[in-house]
Amino acid sequence: MLTIKRILVVIDPSREDNVALVRSRLLAGYLGADLHLLVCENRRDHSAVLEELCASLETAGITASFTQAWHNNLTDTIIRTLMAHGCGLVIKQHTPDNPLKKALLTPEDWKLLRYCPAPVLLAKGSALWLQGKVLAAVDLGDHDDQHQSLHRSIVSHAADIARMINGELHLLSAHPAPMLSAVNPIYQLRETILEVYGEKARRYVEEYEISERNTHIDEGPADALIPRVAEQIGACVTVIGTVARTGISGALIGNTAEVVLDQLSGDVLVLKPDDMIDHLQDLVEK
């Protein structure tokens, strides 16, 4: 996260509570990053409001610029602006979709999580981050290099945020239920599963000095465990990864990040594997 030097902030001019702007000011101050404000609309001119916001940011010592644009849809507009201005992070306020609408149409924020070639922070509430709890959610059962690299990035970003807000870092991983029929004897007993997952968590626990009480390894599906633990600890932000599943499987199953988005009361920072970021950037450039 420390390498991010320009942040794209999606502004909804119809809202008075610019939660995304509040989060971006905090991050920009810590990272020494510039802000680029974006209004996704072509019906009314909002340049006066954007100029006023930029002037306020400049007074606070934060370099800011703005764009008002529209390219087919919200997601395309955000991604095109992100690429054009070299931003390394998108911050957008999230509003839960109507369940019926969500069943019929893919929510715009889901599309953004799937296709954006940069980390996305969805700001959900007005609660302050300062001295809050940051939850890094990883899947310690994944063994391939792509997922391990993603997990390192998740914990690293969460640790950066925890340091920034003088907060408390928590680590979470769900593990499968024991099965006596499992080929690997490790997965036949809960005790051996916990031992294996605990050993895999050790590298993060030691590197980031995470206490035992802040390490949450439990049985169950991740999309149920993550919201439960986040609520128990009162997480102000949860950092999670996505493999950006698309197509029929994505529509029917959904990514964990998408499933838990409306269940979490705090903000959500979503990361992707590096090779997927590169692929998405290539698609945009074509």
Q: What is the pLDDT of residues 160-200, one digit of tens each?
A: 999 999 999 999 999 877 765 555 666 667 788 888 888 99
**Domains 6-93 and 133-283 in one fold:** yes
What's residue 240's pLDDT?
94
1: confidence class by pLDDT, cuts 50, 70, 90: confident
Cα 271 versus chain centre, distance = 6
Residue 95 has pLDDT above 90, yes or no: no
**What residues have CB less than 8 Å from 124, skipping those under 6 apart?**
19, 93, 94, 264, 265, 266, 267, 268
User: Strand, coil or helix: what is 174?
Assistant: strand
Let me know: does 245 contact 255? Beta carbons within 8 Å: yes
Dihedral sign from CA coordinates of 259, 234, 13, 242 = negative
% of the chain with per-residue pLDDT over 90? 58
Per-residue model confidence (pLDDT) at position 210 = 95
Distance CA 279, CA 286 (A): 11
Domain 6-93 has CATH 3.40.50.620: yes
Task: Between 60 and 189, name the one with better pLDDT.
Answer: 60
Give the residue among 228, 259, 252 at the shortest CA–CA distance from 109: 259
pLDDT higher than threshold 60 for residue 248: no
β-pairing, 120-123 with 34-40? Answer: unpaired
If pLDDT is split at 50, 70 and 90, which confidence band does 233 have? Answer: very high
pLDDT at position 105 is 63
Q: What is the pLDDT of residue 251?
A: 40
Residue 74 is given by DSSP the state: H
**Residue-range domain boundaries for the chain:** 6-93, 133-283
CA distances from 36 to 86, 182, 214 (A): 10, 52, 35
- Per-residue pLDDT, 282: 66
Residue 247 has pLDDT above 60, yes or no: no
For 94-102, what is the mean pLDDT?
A: 67
More confident position, 141 or 271? 271
User: Tell me: domain 133-283, CATH 3.40.50.300, correct?
Assistant: no
pLDDT of residue 249: 40
Which residue carries 């030691």 as its tokens? 206
pLDDT at 142 over 90: no
